Chains A and B, each alone.
Chain A
Amino acid sequence: MTAQSKTSQAKEQKSGVVARRTPPRRGPNAPVILFPTERSTIGLKKIRAAVKAVIAERKAAESQSSARKKQ
């Protein structure tokens, strides 16, 4: 969890305000994403790396196919 989301989560807990999903999904009004309180068998670092890799792969494939279309 990022420091920013941790801070806003702590603020919400203190004020008792329920989590909001406010567009836009970035910046100070972005929703707080809650992580499970229980330990997972895979570390968060590994999950983050895997998600990043898949997104990068998809983006590369998308840019390749749009480049092909332009040709």
Chain B
Amino acid sequence: MSHPEYERNVFINCPFDSEYAPLFEAIVFAVQDAGFRPKCARERLDSSQIRLQKIAGLISACRYSIHDLSRTALDDVNLLPRFNMPLELGVDLGCKWFSADHSGKSLLIFDSEQYRFQKFVSDLSGQDIHQHGNDARVAVTRVRDWIRTESGSNTIPGGAAIYRRYEDFRAELKGICATLHLDVAELTFADFSNVVSVWLESHA
């Protein structure tokens, strides 16, 4: 595989709104605590790059992907669904199926309720879709179990242990941000991910 860190990269395809932030941040922490590196479209701020190209590049660089379809719902203004997440899932599935180099890819697909996806992407029927019920603790456990199974690594701690550590991290995050003269909500993805890495390093 051309990307040097392919085996350890995890692409996260999810909404980036503030309502989803608690789930997103817990997932990012779980991925890092398991010894993998989260990657998402938010890590690159280069406006000269076409968004879908940027996403395709990330998908190609990651053996693992988490796709969360739970926010595929009609928006209040346009009464149309947000379809970026299913589109990116489609790109990832295409990558896995049509590229021999990527045939070993592993995907974790989330939705809010069981079988809900069949109403808007019925072609996904037959795939194993997981639910997190908008609960960060459940999301962390599902992510941990999936990475553990798919990577074959038997030394990743249990979901409960990772979540406990995540709670400890959250308890200190506000103070860390205050020392840096930043608001928690102002952290960019790379900043947040760096803080997680340093925190894990300090609590090893």
Contacts and interface: CB of A to CB of B under 8 A. Distances in A.
Interface in B1-41: 4-5, 7-8, 32-39
B175 A33 contact: no
B180 interface: yes
B156 interface: yes
Most B-side CB within 10 Å, residue of A23, A33, A34, A52: A34
Contacts of A49: 179
B199 interface: yes
A46 B180 contact: yes
A58 B172 CA distance: 9
B180 A34 contact: no
A26 B202 CA distance: 11
Contact of A55 (B4, B153, B172): B172
A34 B204 contact: no
Interface string A32-44: 1111111111101
A48 interface: yes
Q: Is the interface of A mostly helix, strand, loop or mixed?
A: loop
B197 interface: yes
* Interface band, chain B: 35 or more
A48 B195 CA distance: 8
10 contacts: A5-B201, A18-B7, A21-B156, A23-B155, A33-B32, A35-B37, A47-B195, A48-B198, A50-B177, A53-B179
A21 B155 contact: yes
B126 interface: no
Contact of A35 (B157, B176, B180, B194): B194
B102 to A, nearest CB: 16
Interface in B50-90: none
